Amino acid sequence: MRLGRTIKAQLRFYSLLLILLPLALSLAAFYGVLRTEGLRKAQGEMQAELRHHRFDVERWLGYRLADVVHVSRTDAVRTVDMSAMKRDFHAFLDAHGDFRSLVYVDAAGRTVVDMDAPAGVDLSDREYFLRARQGQPFISRVLTGRTSGKAIVIFSSPVLNPQGDFAGLVFGVVRINALLEMVSSLRRTPVDPSFLVDAASGVPLLAPENTPSIPLPSLDAPIDGPTVYRNRDGDEVLGVGLPLKNGEWLLVQERAVADILGDMHRQLLLLLAVSGLTIAALTPFLLRLAQRVTGPIERISAMSERIMAGEYGSVCPGLDAAGMPPELERLYRNFCRMAERIGTHVGELERLTGTDELTGLANRRLLADAGARIVSICRRAGQPCACLMLDLDHFKHINDVHGHATGDEVLRRLAAAIASAVRSSDFAVRMGGEEFAIIAPNTDAPHAMALAERLRRTVERIDLRQAGISVPVAISVGVAGMTVTPRYGAGPLEDLLARADHALYRAKQAGRNRVMLWDDTDHGVVAEQEAPDGEGQPEGAPRLRGPLSGS
């Protein structure tokens, strides 16, 4: 029986599967729901936080732009009073630490006053100059300063002369670091700081080269679910972005997923612990149920193996059928009844197949098994064993003269005489026709001769009449003892039968109605042919015996 294919193994496996599979699926679904809800909740909190941050950043940018607009409207700038303009610019930079420089550009696009570099630089191609000519204040994208080479942001405002004509522009230079530091400091909750991202490339401002872009949704696009990705450090994060400065920038906040789901993981661990304790508590009941089902089945299987081995007497032991499930109890009781019936029928079949129907003695089929077992036991124990071979004298004449019914009665009388003369340990068998044999264990030749002579005299005294006529009954008997070295046949039993049969042949030759003992000094050989009495050879001639399993 292969491992894993037994009912017990399969019952335990599928029972545990019925417990663990729904639990695993429930935990997986529970984890998925909790994870999604946890991320959505964190996303909402981060979006609310970013809205405050965006308001603060936009206000900061608006204030810087308003400062530059105020400078562009001063009388010194409108009238291009150089000395007053420089004085006012120095005072402005001293009061506004976020600005690195102030620059006045004339209507032709050349710098006239630059607090950080020499004048005369042509800026007529810059976007902020073009916007100023259109009368628009402007905040640039992140630029690289032509003189400083630093990343900067330009806040510009057009300048109008007293007549209201375009006279140039004033712009203030703010290093991007000042803006990023301000953004990073905007934290109302204990989460990671916000930062700015270029909306076109998705790369954080001032990020090193080859920095991967952040996979945030496009501006104002509907978000189907939380956006989770790997940040520059390889950590799994939830990212949220809001547009800034007319969509040129994104204000982004990231938060580690492990921090967001920390409480959920603890809840899952608690649930797993409770589930494990529940399974541990239910397992003994499950095993007990499996034993209640598989125990009787295993015993019934063992009982069936004993039946196959021919053991019918003790197939059904005293089991507590009341402790079984009703179906198995019914199966067990029905199996015991069937086993009992099978034992009875098999015993009857064995008796019928091993018994001669006419005489009630064993037949030649049974001799092959029982006779061989008796001879083998005697040989192993070193005990003598003898064989008596009997044959009715002139049996064909009895059948011809008095009829077969009388012949059958003679056979029955002879069988009764044999049964009354032998011991319970002796084995008497009808070999076929009018021939009988007796295997006598623990019997030497003299005692076997005495038994044969006593049996001969008993048969001789049988009083049988047919139609008022006496029917003479006599037997010839050949006796042989078991020898150390078999001489005839394939084994000790065949050798013993052959010797007794040879002695019977000598008794027939000597005149019948007598007993003859096998003589070890006689080297006669059993004949190679067999013919029925009166057909082709004299009655009593030696005959070759067929296989002992014959009937």
pLDDT at 104: 96
Mark which of 323, 351, 379 sits at the end of a domain.
Answer: 351
Domain of 107: which CATH number?
Answer: 3.30.450.20
pLDDT at 426: 94
pLDDT, tens digit (0-9, with 9 covering 90-100), for 322-344: 666 776 667 777 777 777 776 66
278 lies in the same domain as 388: no
| Domain contains 391 | yes
| Domain contains 280 | yes
Crossing angle for the helix pair 445-460 and 404-421, nearest 10 degrees? 140
pLDDT at 21: 75
pLDDT of residue 72 exceeding 70, the answer is yes
pLDDT, tens digit (0-9, with 9 covering 90-100), for 441-499: 999 999 999 999 999 999 999 989 887 888 999 999 999 999 888 888 778 999 999 99
Range with the poorest average pLDDT among 52-61, 87-96, 187-196: 187-196
Domain of 396: which CATH number?
Answer: 3.30.70.270
368 lies in the same domain as 482: yes
369 lies in the same domain as 454: yes
| Domain contains 47 | no
pLDDT at 315: 56
pLDDT at 546: 44
279 lies in the same domain as 421: no
Q: Which residue has the higher pLDDT, 31 or 89?
A: 89
Looking at residues 200-225, what average pLDDT do you find?
A: 70
pLDDT at 204: 85
pLDDT at 208: 80
pLDDT at 62: 93
Range with the poorest average pLDDT among 193-197, 310-314, 527-531: 527-531
pLDDT of residue 190 exceeding 80, the answer is no
- DSSP code string of 445-486: HHHHHHHHHHHHHHHHT---EETTEE----EEEEEEEPPSS-
pLDDT of residue 313 exceeding 70, the answer is no
With bands split at pLDDT 50, 70 and 90, how would you rate the model's confidence at 137?
very high
- Count structural domains, the chain: 3
Range with the poorest average pLDDT among 103-112, 318-327, 390-399: 318-327
344 lies in the same domain as 397: no
pLDDT at 532: 34
Q: Which residue has the higher pLDDT, 438 or 53?
A: 438
pLDDT at 347: 58
| Domain contains 56 | no
| Domain contains 192 | no
Looking at residues 88-101, what average pLDDT do you find?
A: 92
371 lies in the same domain as 345: no
478 lies in the same domain as 387: yes
| Domain contains 541 | no
pLDDT at 262: 76
387 lies in the same domain as 318: no
pLDDT of residue 287 exceeding 50, the answer is yes
pLDDT of residue 525 exceeding 80, the answer is no
Confirm if 316 and 339 have CB atoms less than 8 A apart: yes
Mark which of 149, 180, 211 sits at the end of a domain.
Answer: 180
| Domain contains 210 | no
Cβ neighbors of 403 (< 8 A, separation 6 or more) are 466
* Average pLDDT value over all residues in the chain: 81
pLDDT of residue 97 exceeding 50, the answer is yes
Mark which of 351, 381, 411 sits at the end of a domain.
Answer: 351
344 lies in the same domain as 376: no
Torsion angle defined by CA atoms of residues 40, 44, 49 and 53, in that order, rounded to the nearest 10 degrees:
100
Q: Which amino acid is at 369?
A: D
Range with the poorest average pLDDT among 5-19, 245-259, 426-440, 499-513: 5-19
Looking at residues 210-228, what average pLDDT do you find?
A: 66
Looking at residues 340-357, what average pLDDT do you find?
A: 68
- Give the highest mean pLDDT range of 212-226, 332-346, 497-511: 497-511
Cβ neighbors of 305 (< 8 A, separation 6 or more) are none
Looking at residues 227-249, what average pLDDT do you find?
A: 84
337 lies in the same domain as 456: no
303 lies in the same domain as 449: no
Beta bridge partners of 111: 105
Cβ neighbors of 40 (< 8 A, separation 6 or more) are 225, 226
| Domain contains 446 | yes
What is the residue range of 144's domain?
62-180
Q: Which of 179, 185, 190 is nearest to 142 (CA)?
A: 179
396 lies in the same domain as 339: no
Confirm if 237 and 255 have CB atoms less than 8 A apart: yes
